[in-house]
C-alpha cells in the first residue's frame, strides 16, 4: 500500500467575515454539493474560528483552536479551522445509508465565542470525488506511481489515486481512527474507475492505510483513449477530472469545437431526469502512416452520454455511435429507467415523491429541453436494460487525400440526477486522437 506524503490537500485558507454562521458545506475534493458519511468537507461561513490553525498530525483532533464541529451530535475530526472556512471529516457514524437513500443531519460549529445555528446537511450514501493537484477538484488528479512519484504520462502501469466519499467500508471505519495499516483493511465495495473511456482494473479500493478518512484506489489503466477519469461508488458518479496522457501522432492540423445545447445557465430542473445534449465539429488531416484512433465528445458528468468515432486509416473506414434518447424517453416516459423519477417540487428534506408510472407530464417539460430533444436523432440500436437511452450508429469510408470533417454531430441523453438544490456544474469535452480540443462548461439550477 502507499501513503500520501503530506496532508496539504486538506488545507485551504480563507479570510474572516462579519457574522457568525454556516453558509454552505461542500465536498472537500470536488467542491460540489454532494456529501456522504466519511467525506471530507469544506464548511464556509463567518466567524467560525478565532484564527487560522492547521492540525499537525493524524488522527486529526475533534477540537482545534477551541473550535469543534458536531454532525448529528457526533464530533467531526478537524484538519483546518479559520474564521471563514473549516475542513472537517463528516463522521462515518452520522448516518447509515445505501443506494439512493438520503438523510438530513444538523451541523453545528462551536467556537470560544459561542455556537452557530444548526445547518441542515443532506447526506447521500456515497459522494465520490477525486483529489486533484490544484486542490480545487478540477484538472489533473493527484496520481502517484509505485515509487510515490507523481506520474508524468499515463501508461498501463498501476497508479494510486486518492478520493473521498466512497461510502461504508468493511470492516466498518471509525471516525476517530486511521485507515487500517494491516489486514483486515477497510475495503469498499461497489466502486469502479473509468480512465480514458475504459474500465480500469481495481487492485485495492478502501481507506488509505495510516491516513484519516482518505480513500485510496490502486488501479491498472487499460491502453488509454483520452485522459478523462471518473470514479463511481454505488449509484453516484464523481465529477470528471483528468490524467496526463500522451497525445496520438495520427492526425495533424486539428480544429474542432463542442457546443452545449442543453442544459443552459437559465435551466431550472424540477425533476430528476436531466436531458444533456451537445454537438461537435472536428476537422483534421491524417498523418502519414496513421494507425486507428478515436474521436469522442462526451459529458463529464455522465459516462454514458457520449459520441465516439473510430477511424481506421489502414482499412479506410470510420464507424460512429452516439448516445440518443430512447423512444419512450422521447415522450418523457421513463418506465425503463430502473429508478424512480422524482418530482423535485415535492421534496421535503431528503424525501421526494415520484411521478406515477415514471412519466413526466408535458406541462412540466422545459420548452428548451423539448427543442433540444427534437434535434437528436432517434435510436437505431435499442436501449439496454434499465436504460432510457439508446444509440445511433453510422459508418463510412475515408475520403481520398486524408482530410476529414465531421460537422455538427449531435448527441445526448438523459441521466437520473440527485436532488442537489442550487447551482450545479458540468462540461462537455471533445478529444481527437487523445488531444483535448475543446471544453464547454455548463451551469444549471436544481429546484
Least trusted range by pLDDT, from 85-89, 321-325, 381-385: 381-385
Cβ contacts of 180-188, under 8 Å, gap ≥ 24: 180/207, 180/209, 181/1, 181/209, 181/210, 182/209, 185/1, 185/209, 188/215, 188/233
The verdict on whether omega for the bond into residue 171 sits within 30 degrees of 0, i.e. cis, is: yes
Write the burial class of residue 310 (CB in 10 Å: 0-12 exposed, 13-18 middle, 19+ buried).
middle
pLDDT tens string 163-216: 999 999 999 999 999 999 999 999 999 999 999 878 999 999 999 999 999 999
Confidence of residue 18 (pLDDT cuts 50, 70, 90): low
Instruction: State yes or no: pLDDT of 1 exceeds 70.
Output: no
Lookup: cell for 68? 469543534
| Positions of CATH 2.60.40.10 in the chain | 8-124
- For 142, which DSSP code? -
Instruction: State yes or no: pLDDT of 392 exceeds 70.
Output: yes
Confidence of residue 16 (pLDDT cuts 50, 70, 90): very low
For the domain covering 129-242, report its CATH number: 2.60.40
**pLDDT for the residue numbered 282:** 97
Cα of first residue to Cα of last residue in the chain, in angstroms, is: 43
SS3 92: helix
**Could you give the count of Cα atoms lying within 13 Å of 215 in the half-sphere of its Cβ?**
34
pLDDT tens string 369-378: 999 999 999 9
Distance CA 170, CA 168 (A): 7
Mean per-residue pLDDT for 230-253? 89
**pLDDT for the residue numbered 178:** 97
Confidence of residue 5 (pLDDT cuts 50, 70, 90): very low
**pLDDT for the residue numbered 368:** 97
Highest mean pLDDT among 37-46, 233-242, 379-388: 37-46
pTM of the model: 0.77
Mean per-residue pLDDT for 418-429? 84
The CATH class that applies to domain 8-124 reads mainly beta
- On average, the pLDDT of the chain sits at 90
Amino acid at each position: 500500500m502507499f501513503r500520501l506524503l503530506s496532508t496539504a490537500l486538506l488545507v485551504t485558507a480563507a479570510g474572516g467575515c462579519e457574522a457568525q454562521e454556516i453558509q454552505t458545506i461542500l465536498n472537500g475534493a470536488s467542491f460540489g454539493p454532494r456529501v456522504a458519511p466519511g467525506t471530507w468537507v469544506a464548511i464556509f461561513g463567518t466567524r467560525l474560528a478565532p484564527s487560522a490553525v492547521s492540525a499537525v498530525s493524524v488522527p486529526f483532533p475533534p477540537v482545534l483552536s477551541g473550535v469543534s464541529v458536531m454532525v448529528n451530535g457526533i464530533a467531526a475530526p478537524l484538519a483546518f479551522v479559520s474564521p471563514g472556512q473549516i475542513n472537517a471529516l463528516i463522521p462515518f457514524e452520522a448516518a447509515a445509508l445505501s443506494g439512493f437513500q438520503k438523510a438530513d443531519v444538523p451541523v453545528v460549529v462551536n467556537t470560544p465565542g459561542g455556537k452557530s445555528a444548526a445547518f441542515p446537511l443532506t447526506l447521500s450514501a456515497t459522494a465520490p470525488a477525486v483529489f486533484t493537484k490544484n486542490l480545487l477538484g478540477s484538472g489533473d488528479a493527484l496520481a502517484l506511481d509505485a515509487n510515490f512519484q507523481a506520474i508524468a504520462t499515463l501508461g498501463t502501469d498501476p497508479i494510486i489515486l486518492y478520493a473521498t466519499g466512497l461510502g461504508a467500508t468493511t470492516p466498518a471505519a471509525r471516525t476517530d481512527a486511521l485507515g487500517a495499516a494491516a489486514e483486515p483493511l477497510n475495503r469498499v465495495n461497489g466502486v469502479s474507475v473509468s480512465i480514458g473511456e475504459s474500465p480500469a482494473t481495481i487492485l485495492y479500493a478502501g481507506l488509505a492505510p495510516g491516513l484519516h478518512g482518505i480513500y485510496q484506489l490502486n488501479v491498472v489503466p487499460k491502453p488509454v483513449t483520452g485522459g478523462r477519469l471518473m470514479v463511481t461508488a454505488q449509484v453516484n458518479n464523481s465529477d470528471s477530472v483528468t490524467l496526463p496522457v500522451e497525445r496520438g501522432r495520427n492526425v495533424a492540423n486539428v480544429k474542432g469545437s463542442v457546443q452545449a445545447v442543453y442544459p443552459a445557465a437559465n435551466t431550472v430542473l424540477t425533476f430528476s431526469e436531466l436531458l444533456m445534449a451537445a454537438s461537435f465539429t472536428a476537422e483534421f488531416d491524417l498523418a502519414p502512416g496513421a494507425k486507428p484512433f478515436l474521436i469522442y465528445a462526451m459529458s463529464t458528468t455522465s459516462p454514458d452520454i457520449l459520441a465516439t468515432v473510430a477511424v481506421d486509416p489502414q482499412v479506410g473506414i470510420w464507424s460512429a455511435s452516439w448516445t440518443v434518447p430512447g423512444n419512450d424517453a422521447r415522450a418523457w416516459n421513463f418506465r425503463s429507467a430502473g429508478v424512480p423519477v422524482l418530482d423535485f417540487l415535492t421534496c421535503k428534506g431528503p424525501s421526494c415523491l415520484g411521478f406515477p408510472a415514471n412519466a413526466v407530464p408535458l406541462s412540466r417539460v422545459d420548452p428548451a429541453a423539448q427543442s433540444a430533444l427534437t434535434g437528436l436523432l432517434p435510436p437505431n440500436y435499442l436501449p439496454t436494460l434499465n436504460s432510457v437511452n439508446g444509440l445511433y450508429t453510422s459508418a463510412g469510408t475515408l475520403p481520398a487525400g486524408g482530410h476529414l470533417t465531421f460537422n455538427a454531430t449531435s448527441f445526448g441523453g438523459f441521466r437520473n440526477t440527485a436532488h442537489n438544490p442550487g447551482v450545479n456544474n458540468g462540461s462537455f469535452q471533445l478529444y481527437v486522437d487523445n488531444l483535448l480540443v475543446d471544453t464547454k462548461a455548463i451551469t444549471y439550477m436544481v429546484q
